Structure 1
Amino acid sequence: MLPPRFRRLLLSRAPIMRGHLIDGDGRCIHYHGPFDVVGNKCATCNEWWACHRCHEEIANHPFGKMLIDAPSSLQCGHCGELMAYGVQKCPRCGHNFNPGCSLHTPLYYEMPS
């Protein structure tokens, strides 16, 4: 298997994840456990971020929340697959995601009324 830095180069369709990244799977200085590989899209700048804290420290605007039913609001940091909210693992590469990420749903998504 290729090292993460080369794997990302091969996935030219994968958007670039922003933040204070510490590895090629999208882990950042704030969340860097084995399952912390999900990037979130900001509706304001349309960029992918490793976490809300990275966005807060780098961007010059509040994190724009996505609609909860948006088809491509999550990015797998391991393979670059784009997916919708609610998945527990990547449908492409099978990498498991941190179940604790669901606690941050209100930070990233507009909740239905």
Structure 2
Amino acid sequence: MTPDVHGPTVDDHTRCIHYRTPLDIIAIRFACCGEYYPCHLCHEETADHPSRPWPEGSENVHAVLCGACRRELTIAEYTAVDACPRCAAPFNPGCAAHHPIYFG
């Protein structure tokens, strides 16, 4: 079963109103609520609580969803690749700037 992605998505590849380039195809499962959102701004605007990054030691948690093929990746898998291991869809390298927001 494919997880729901919350927030203002603009297409079926989890792009949102904030990040919608061809490479913006992942959603992040937030540690605070366990729900997927396309980005931290979507969470901030639509969740009823503040976000919280995944704590150290969470590398094996499935917390990233490829919007192209819907594969869930662990944090370790996601941070080690530039594209989805299943479908080879490239990920936005600029997302690394937000790493501390999501993964501590």
Per the TM superposition, whether the score is higher than 0.5 is yes
Q: Distance between the aligned counterparts of 1:76 and 1:56, measured in 2?
A: 21
In 2, are the aligned partners of 1:18 and 1:50 still within 8 Å (CA)?
Answer: yes
1:53 corresponds, among 35, 41, 44, to 41
Q: Is the 8 A contact 1:39 1:48 kept in 2?
A: yes
* Deviation of 1:31 (Å): 0.0
In the aligned structure 2, how far is the partner of 1:61 from the partner of 1:52?
A: 12
Please state if 1:41 is matched with 2:49.
no
- 1:12-45 CA deviation, whole Å, 9 max, x = no partner? x221111111000000000000000011111111
Matched ranges for 1:13-28 at <5 A: 13-28=1-16
**Per-residue deviation, 1:70:** 3.1
The separation in 1 between residues aligned to 2:12 and 2:100, in whole angstroms, is 26
Q: CA deviation at 1:89?
A: 0.9
My pick for the range that moved more, 59-68 or 38-47, is: 59-68
CA distance in 2, matches of 1:102, 1:70: 18
Q: Relative to structure 1, is the Cα distance of residues 63 and 70 closer, same or farther in structure 2, using a 3 angstrom cutoff? A: farther
State TM-score, norm by structure 2: 0.88
Q: Which of these two proteins has the greater Rg computed from alpha carbons? A: 1
Within 5 A, what are the aligned runs for 1:1-113? 13-67=1-55, 68-85=58-75, 86=79, 87-110=81-104
Gaps of 5+ in 1: 1-12
Structure 1 distance, partners of 2:69, 2:7, is 17
Q: Identity percentage over the alignment?
A: 39
Displacement of 1:84: 2.1
| Superposition misfits of 4+ residues, deviation over 4 angstroms | none
TM-score normalised over the length of structure 1: 0.81
Could you tell me which runs of 5 or more consecutive residues in structure 2 were left unpaired when the two chains were aligned. Answer: none
